[in-house]
Structure 1
Amino acid sequence: MDSIQAFRGGYEKPPKMISSTSIWKRTLLFSAISILAVWAHFKTPAKAVDIIVINTAKTKAGGKLFEAIIGEDKGIFLAKQASDFVQNLLYSNPKYPRKNVTQIILSIDNYTKIAVTDEYVIHISDEYIADYVGDLEGEIMGLIYREMGRVWLWNGGGEAPLTLIEGMAEYLRLSAGLYPSQTYSNAETDHGSDGQQMAKYLQYCESVKSGFVAEFNGRLEEKWNTDLFAEFSMEEKWGEFLMSVTAAQSSSSSAFLETQKNVNDVSPLL
């Protein structure tokens, strides 16, 4: 199938000052996620895992900021919360096989990309933390949730298209209400802008059929097969998605138009 033709480009940084309203909203969001995680735990208990936080950049600006804003204890708490949240979205149905994960490491270190996941190790760049302008705590939370998705998602035996997996991980971040304040370039993350656009498409698929992402992920335990696109009617859903975006654009504000800009440039048919 044709390769994705994704847009490239930079982004405008969010304002440097964080308002009290922004902090208040984040507090409410954090509380809502906590309540959802507790409810989901009693409905379908998530698998407990050991979380280790390692900051190898404690003497650098980004490492110092992480210690001041998050720190080890809060980092462990957020990672455990993210793990429970992701598991309960992907594996609430017992028929879907759960990955055998026993330990997850959250590492703050000198990576060139913003955040990547290497098997069960989540790396967040200390340089990105140091240079970030805006709600840093909220951004770190979002990265933890997204990369936790990478930990728990199946990947078709390592052969599923990376953009698809990145999109699924970004979808999990959005499901927690942790929206990124910028468009990541593909140089900064693994298929960053592609993955963000894919996440919007997956949100649409989930709105059409509840549990779509969890079911698709369950099939990715097996070796990757492009026939899955046809089996899940992804071509048809892509066309419907584009029509829904066009309809919304025709009647929405300029702010909405900006967030949906270039959505036509991404195709799920990898």
Structure 2
Amino acid sequence: MENRRSLSQPLLSSTSAAPTTPTSPNLSNHAVLLRLLLVAVVGLTSLWANHEASKGFDITILNNAKGSSAGQRFDLFYVSNDEATRLLLNASNFIQNLIYPSQDLPKKIIKSVHLTLSLRDLSSNVAVEQLDGGVDFAVHLSPSIFNDTNMNHAMSTAILRGMSRVWLWNGEGHAPPSLLDGMVEHIVAAAGFVEKKYSGGAVGTLAACEPMWWKDKDPMEIATFLDYHERQGEGFIQRLNQALRSRWQDRTVDNVLGLPDQRPCGSFNTSGSL
């Protein structure tokens, strides 16, 4: 009987060598470049993700003064090179390390910050607006910043002041603005941006005898007293900020200081302060 070839048997011998296609050097180099590009993209994506995670909140830079001299300089020196974002993040990190030095201290939740150059001059270099929801903030910069002889210093200080107001608790919206302004100036001084110094020495009886010594006072004067209490008991500013998580009471500051209802009178020495 005639032998028949099984259909399962390969038509080509298993010993036959498969034809090879010569690899072009150009194709090989192209493949290497593609791999390197892929690695770079993955690396950059990872760095960006880490950057976004580290800042913890969204940042939007807005220029409402486009076309003006201030708006053009803002775009050139602070927007095109991301300098505004860097200044904001540096200020935010400094403030958080100062007033929230421990993870045990409850921290404000900040979802987003809109850094905006205003169209018209403001009454000061910076103003902060809390948007709907309480976790979004607008930091408005005044175009007058660009009239300063030291523009970079003015911009850095304005952003530091603005972010200080963002991160500080405010007694559920009832803390005295003068006290908050004084706390902001204390932070500004701690960062080395001191625009005015007191000579020190005996400073009246304001902090010793007046129950509400922060009311309607100059922010720099309040900052001087805050600095004095900080030097008397390290961590005072952190404790005061934490106390402002709750609704403001007239005795909030005295409670943080541990002062009795009847305050002892007498002046104190502020040498070495701001």
Measured in 1, the distance between the counterparts of 2:122 and 2:184 equals 20
**Structure 1 segment 107-126 matched on structure 2, within 5 A:** 107-109=116-118, 110-114=120-124, 115-119=126-130, 120-126=137-143
Aligned to 1:221: 245
1:21 aligned residue: none
Identity percentage of aligned residues: 27
Structure 2 residue corresponding to 1:87, chosen from 83, 91, 96: 96
Tell me how far apart the structure 2 counterparts of residues 74 and 238 of structure 1 sit (CA, whole Å). Answer: 49
Pairing 1:161-240 to 2, within 5 Å after superposition: 161-180=176-195, 194-233=218-257
Query: Residues 235 and 59 of structure 1: is their aligned pair in 2 closer, same or farther, counting only changes over 3 Å?
Result: farther
2:64 aligned residue (38, 56, 63): 56
Whichever residue aligns with residue 74 of structure 1, its letter is E
**Cα 1:239–1:62, aligned 2, differ >3 Å: closer, same or farther?**
farther
CA offset digits 1:33-83 (Å, max 9, x no partner): xxxxxxxxxxxx976222211111121122223234333500001101111
- Give aligned pairs, total: 195
- Once the 2 structures are TM-superposed, how far is the Cα of residue 238 of structure 1 from its aligned partner? 11
1:227 partner amino acid: R
Shift of 1:199: 1.5
**Structure 1's 74 and 124: CA in aligned 2 closer, same or farther, altered over 3 A?**
same
How far apart are the structure 2 equivalents of 1:151 and 1:239?
35
Q: CA deviation at 1:148?
A: 0.3
Please report how far the alpha carbon of residue 92 of structure 1 lies from its aligned counterpart in structure 2 after TM superposition: 1.4
What secondary structure sits across from 2:218 in the alignment? helix
Compared CA separation, residues 47 and 207, structure 1 to 2 (3 A): farther
* Deviating more after overlay: 54-63 vs 97-106: 54-63
Which of 65, 73, 87 aligns to 2:73? It is 65
- The residue type equivalent to 2:128 in the other structure is T
What RMSD in Å do the two structures reach over aligned CA positions? 3.1
Amino acid at match of 1:151: V
> 1:116-146, CA deviations, whole angstroms, 9 ceiling, x for partnerless residues?
10011111111x12432x2110111011111
Distance 1:67 1:158 in 2: 34
- Greater Rg by CA: 2
Q: 2:151 aligns with which of 124, 136, 139?
A: 136
1:238 and 1:77, CA in 2 relative to 1: closer, same or farther beyond 3 A?
farther
Which residue identity does 1:167 align to in structure 2?
A: G
Structure 1: gaps spanning 5 or more residues: 1-44, 183-190, 249-255, 261-270
Determine if contact 1:49/1:104 at 8 Å carries over to the other structure. Answer: yes
How far apart in 2 are the matches of 1:227 and 1:81?
A: 34
The answer (yes or no) to whether the contact 2:243–2:256 under 8 Å persists in 1 is no
Alpha-carbon contact 1:154-1:218 (below 8 Å) kept = yes
